[in-house]
Structure 1
Amino acid sequence: MKFIKWMTSKEQTIYASSFTGYLPSRISAVNSDEMKQLYAEKPLFKVAVDQLEYARPRPMLKVYPEIAKIIKDQIALAMTDSANTPEKIIAEAGSKADKLLNK
C-alpha cells in the first residue's frame, strides 16, 4: 500500500507525466502549476487531457471486439487505398458494425 500511495501521489504523477508525456493519473497533477507550465512549453502533452472531455466508457457488448477490429481495419484501408473516400470507408464500417449489432 505504501508503494501505491507513493506511485499515485501528486508529485510522482507530475514527475512521471512530465518525462513520458503520458496522461497524469490525478486531476490535482493536471491542475498543478508544474503541469500548466509543462503544457505551455509542450502543448502536445496536453492533448490526452483535453480529449478526456469526449471520452466515454467502452461499450459492454459481446460483439465489441469484432466491431473494434472492423474500425481498425477500415482505418488501415483508408490510409492504404486512395481509391476509397473517408465517407465510403466509414459507411462500410458502420454497415458491418450494424450487422453485428442486429444479429
Structure 2
Amino acid sequence: MVLAEHGDLYVNNGNGREGRATEVVFDSEAGQAFFRSWHDMIEEGLAINVGLNPTQADALLAMGTGRATMSLSSSGALRSVVDVLERGEMDVDPAVAAVPGVTGGTGLPGVFGRSLWIFKGRPEAEQEAAWKFIKWLLEPEQQAEWFAGSGYLPVRLSAYDLPAAQSVMAEYPGFRVAADLFLEAPTTQASLGPLLGPIRDVREIVITAIEETVVGSKDPIEAVQDAAAEANDIIESYNRRVGE
C-alpha cells in the first residue's frame, strides 16, 4: 500500500503485469525508508506496537481507548467502526483520510482485497452454480449493498449511484474518501498492485519482517533485505513448479 502510494512496484516485470514476476523489488529505497520510518516511530514513542493485528481490531481499539490518535487500516473496516460508534461503546469522533506515504511519493494508495475463484477440478454443476453466484454478486445492486455494509469498494462504478451507496456516503462521509481516491487515481502498474502467484506466502514473509523491525529484533534494512531474499526463493520455487 505504501509502495503504491510512492509509485513503486512490489515485484519486477511491471508488477508481474508485463510478464511473470521472478523477483521482488520491495527492498527498494522507498521500501527501506518505510521499514526505517516504522522502526524509528516505535523507538521515538510516536507509535505503539499492537502486535500482528490480523483483524485490524487492536489498532482501532487503541484509538478508541485513547492510546493512539491514528491507525492505518482498510476501508473494509469502516462499517465495523461505525457499528461500534453507533452502539456508544467508544466516545470518539474519528476522521478518515488517505494513508500517508513516504516523502516524495508520486502515486496514490493501491487497491487490495480478496479474490473469488472457481476450481476446474470440481463437478460441472458446482462450477456453474459458483459462476451464477459470482455474476449475481457483481451486479450493481449487490455491490452497492456490499459497499454500504462493509466499506469495501464496489467493482461496478454504477453501484455508487444506487441508493444504498448514496445513503451511506451521505450519512458517513468517511465512506467517500477511499472511493474518491480510487476514482481519481491514475491506473498504473503500482496502483494495480502485484500480480504474483505465491502472494500469500510473500505477504507473510513481509509481515514477519515488519514485526522483527517493530520489536527491535532485527535492523530494519537487514529485515527488508532478508525478506526480499526469502521471498525470491519462494517465487523461484513457485515458477519452477508451475513451469512456463
Paired with 2:137 and 2:233, the residues of 1 have a C-alpha distance of 44
Name the Cα RMSD after superposition: 3.9
For residue 96 of structure 1, what is the aligned residue in structure 2? 230
1:14 has 2:151 as partner? no
- Residue 10 of structure 1 and its aligned partner are, at CA, apart by 1.5
Query: Aligned to 1:95, what secondary structure does the other structure show?
Result: helix
Is residue 206 of structure 2 the alignment partner of residue 71 of structure 1?
yes
Instruction: Pick the aligned partner of 2:220 from 61, 83, 86.
Output: 86
Are the counterparts in 2 of residues 21 and 45 from structure 1 also a CA contact under 8 Å?
Answer: no
1:23 to 138, 153, 173: 153
- Equivalent pair of 2:209/2:224 in contact (CA under 8 Å): yes
User: Could you tell me whether the CA contact under 8 Å between 2:143 and 2:156 is conserved in 1?
Assistant: yes
Structure of higher RCO (CA pairs closer than 8 Å, 6+ residues apart): 2
Give, in whole Å, the separation in 2 of the partners of 1:65 and 1:6: 27
- How far apart are residue 57 of structure 1 and its match? 4.8
Alignment of 1:50-61 (within 5 A): 50=182, 53=187, 54-60=191-197
Deviations 1:27-71 (A, max 9, x none): 2224x3764771881157616x738941235313xx655433322
**Secondary structure of 2:152's match?**
coil
Sort the Cα spacing of 1:14 and 1:102 in 2 relative to 1 into closer, same or farther, 3 A.
closer
Residue 23 of structure 2: aligned partner: none
Matched residues, number:
97
The 2-side partners of 1:75 and 1:55 are apart by 23
Task: Identify, as 1 or 2, the structure richer in helix.
Answer: 1
Q: Compared with structure 1, are the counterparts of its residues 83 and 52 closer, same or farther at alpha carbon in structure 2 (3 Å cutoff)?
A: farther
Question: Relative to 1, partners in 2 of residues 1:12 and 1:87: Cα closer, same or farther, differing over 3 Å?
Answer: same
Does the 8 Å CA contact 1:22/1:45 hold for their aligned counterparts? no
